[in-house]
Amino acid sequence: MALWQISEPGQSPLPHAPRLAAGIDLGTTNSLIATVRGGAVTVLPDAAGAVLLPSVVRFEATGRVTVGRAAQEAEIKDPLNTIASVKRLMGRGRADVHNSPYRLAAGDAGTVRIITDGGVKTPAEVSAEVLKVLKARAEETLGGALTGVVITVPAYFDEAQRQATKDAARLAGLPVLRLLNEPTAAAVAYGLDRNPEGLYCVYDLGGGTFDVSLLRLSQGVFEVLATGGDALLGGDDMDAAVVALWEARGAHAESPEDTRALLRKARTAREALTTATRVTVDLAPLYQGELSRADLDQAIDPLIDRTLAACRRVLKDAQAKVADIGAVVLVGGATRTPRVRERVAAFFRREPLHDIDPDQVVAVGAARQADLLVGNTGAADMLLLDVLPLSLGIEIMGGLVEKIIPRNSPIPASRAQEFTTYKDGQTALAIHVVQGERDLVADCRSLARFELRGIPPMVAGAARIRVTFQVDADGLLNVTARETTSGVASEVTVKPSFGLSESDIERMLAESVASAGADAAARTLREQQVEADRMVEAVQAALKTDPQLLAPGEGEMIAAHIASVQAARAGTDPQAIRSAVGALDRASAAFAARRMDAGLAKAMKGRAVTEFR
């Protein structure tokens, strides 16, 4: 008699075979992925041995997408198409974003769209490219498809930002087990490795966001008592502060490329000052000089002040004092800055913990949680209780907010409250769901609107309408309204307007599969057309700038080659375009050499040779 191998849905048929799971720290500046192997957490490196993947994506007109260091190297020469720190744009509306270095547009419902030569992209699509690389890294290393992942998000991420993160994961083909607050993930890492109990403060200063959370760890239970922070504060802002210091000393940026160059040099200098006390900055012609650790401290102190103000608010929210804190955990690469550690130690009156790499600690905690959720670790080993970062409520008469679930409530959570009608005979009720801490709807964020219809006509105040808010473990919200006497009900799952619609996601997934083969020929043609446009534009600009350097008859000859390139570019033969561009390059080579010689002569005029050593 044949025996069937039976297993629970979604479970491995081999009872002792571990399921492949991973934790992902989707960071503003860098991202990484970790997994549990043999009971220990391993942060997975790329082929070159690097565990940090720069969260930078470049979209080219040819359709080519590069991610990580290769994209980062293009930031200066192609700043408008090389997207960094996209986490700051996740779940945001166009009206929320100011002074962006990118070309932005408003999509449906005011959503942010980034205009690139490779097409108009949502922040979720950009993040998905980063996640795809991490997914491929994990599956190649582990030798199989991932069963599920835990992705970390800042504790202060609201509904829209969390939904955008899940959209990005779906576009990358990643099954999300849950979203986990970054400070909670750090507590998991330290709590399991060091097994402490008591009150912890997690100070998380990354590349673009700052979070501070107060957690109670007791007998394996992690409870977030309060959270705070600033979604627009991090190492990127420290770099901007350094650039502002240099500008006060004479540095100048005349283009987006110049600004990117200064910011990258500021980051390099700031990181060097982690161990050095003074660095030399040579970014001619934009800026030359020195930067001391004292200069850096002065530039970033106002930013650190903002983080400590958030720490005070969190302590106040939890009704705790500095003396109650048993330990402070540092998370995020920016916490390597000596001034940050010095001032955090002074504020909390104790040296903070940083013996787990601050760049990796969040991924370590996420990996442990993912291992638990797929069943590789006993469920009794750990319990996580996150909290809601912002209050949830509904609009009531007068444009006021009635809070249903207050901020810092542990999640998952379910709360209900009764409301009634305003007018005699009222048979419908409009429900406006909002998020925020202000009393006026105008000062809070609108999440959703829906209607409850079919209320029996009664005198004002007689109907009893029960509104129930349910928040799941990922912080996503479902709202139900029910009239208790008749039983009529209506509900809405809050997928915020700044997330992607189901049709958008399906379309993007379908396009990503279909276009790989079908568009190969078109991509090749477009590559050559772009190169032709670049070459023609460069040569025409040179002819206009330095016509006096042309030899007799040379201008007419180059013009003829330009016409040939333009004619080939209008066709559909990529090889013909390539040949025409090559001919133009050769025809203009002598003229280009004379321009270079003239430029060098002008630069050296009146200066000693020793100045160029």
- Which residue type occupies 97? V
Alpha-carbon distance values, 126 to 129, 167, 187, 207 (Å)? 5, 11, 29, 17
Task: Give rounded-to-5 percent helix, strand, coil for the chain.
Answer: 40, 25, 35
* Confidence bin at 193 (pLDDT 50/70/90): very low
**Placement of tokens 């396009």 in the chain:** 511
* Confidence bin at 2 (pLDDT 50/70/90): very low
Q: What is the pLDDT of residue 237?
A: 93
Dig out the tokens for 399 from the structure.
Answer: 């444009």
Neighbours of 151 (CB within 10 A): 29
Q: What is the pLDDT of residue 91?
A: 84
Q: Which residue has the higher pLDDT, 110 or 401?
A: 401
Q: How do residues 394-429 score in pLDDT, each as one tens digit? A: 887 767 788 898 877 777 888 888 888 777 788 888
Query: What is the average pLDDT score of the chain?
Result: 83
Please name which of 203, 226, 215 lies closest in space to residue 343, comparing C-alpha atoms: 203
Neighbours of 74 (CB within 10 A): 16
* Spatial separation of the C-alpha atoms in residues 347 and 124, rounded to whole Å: 37
What angle separates helix 574-587 from helix 589-604, to the nearest 10 degrees?
50
Where in the sequence numbering do the catalytic residues fall? 25, 87, 182, 204
Residues 6+ apart with CB under 8 A from 396: 402, 419
Q: How do residues 309-364 score in pLDDT, each as one tens digit? A: 999 999 998 899 999 998 899 998 899 999 999 999 999 999 998 888 999 999 99
End-to-end Cα distance, the chain = 87
Task: Catalogue the long-range contacts made by 521-527 (C-beta closer than 8 Å, 24 or more residues apart).
Answer: 523/62, 523/63, 523/64, 524/574, 525/572, 525/574, 525/577, 526/61, 526/62, 526/63, 527/61, 527/62, 527/574
Residues 6+ apart with CB under 8 A from 312: none
Q: What is the pLDDT of residue 252?
A: 85
Say what percent of the chain tops pLDDT 90.
36
* Confidence bin at 5 (pLDDT 50/70/90): very low
Q: Which residue has the higher pLDDT, 364 or 216?
A: 364
* Confidence bin at 607 (pLDDT 50/70/90): low
CB 391 within 8 A of CB 436: yes
* Spatial separation of the C-alpha atoms in residues 20 and 391, rounded to whole Å: 36
* Spatial separation of the C-alpha atoms in residues 250 and 29, rounded to whole Å: 28
* Confidence bin at 305 (pLDDT 50/70/90): very high
Residues 6+ apart with CB under 8 A from 102: 80, 83, 114, 115
CB 489 within 8 A of CB 480: yes
Q: What is the pLDDT of residue 335?
A: 94
Q: What is the pLDDT of residue 443?
A: 74
Say what percent of the chain tops pLDDT 70.
85
Neighbours of 22 (CB within 10 A): 31
Mean per-residue pLDDT, 14-35: 84
CB 293 within 8 A of CB 238: no
* Spatial separation of the C-alpha atoms in residues 171 and 510, rounded to whole Å: 10
Q: What is the pLDDT of residue 195?
A: 56
Neighbours of 158 (CB within 10 A): 22
Mean per-residue pLDDT, 474-499: 75
3-state secondary structure 549-578: HCCCCHHHHHHHHHHHHHHHHCCCCHHHHH
Residue 601 C-alpha from the chain's centroid: 46
What is the greatest pairwise CA distance in the chain?
Answer: 98
What domains sit in the chain, N to C, each tagged with a CATH number? 21-234+301-385 (3.30.420.40), 388-502 (2.60.34.10), 519-604 (1.20.1270.10)
The DSSP code for 68 is: T
* Spatial separation of the C-alpha atoms in residues 537 and 518, rounded to whole Å: 30
CB 420 within 8 A of CB 385: no
Mean per-residue pLDDT, 438-448: 78
Q: Quick one: residue 488, left, alpha or beta (phi over 0 = left, psi -120 to 50 = alpha)? A: beta
Edge-to-edge strand ranges of the sheet holding 477-483: 413-419, 465-471, 477-483, 489-494
* Confidence bin at 6 (pLDDT 50/70/90): very low
Q: What is the pLDDT of residue 379?
A: 45
Q: How do residues 564-599 score in pLDDT, each as one tens digit? A: 999 999 988 889 999 999 999 999 888 888 888 887
Dig out the tokens for 201 from the structure.
Answer: 């403060």
* Confidence bin at 106 (pLDDT 50/70/90): confident
Q: Does the pLDDT of residue 109 top 70, yes or no?
A: no
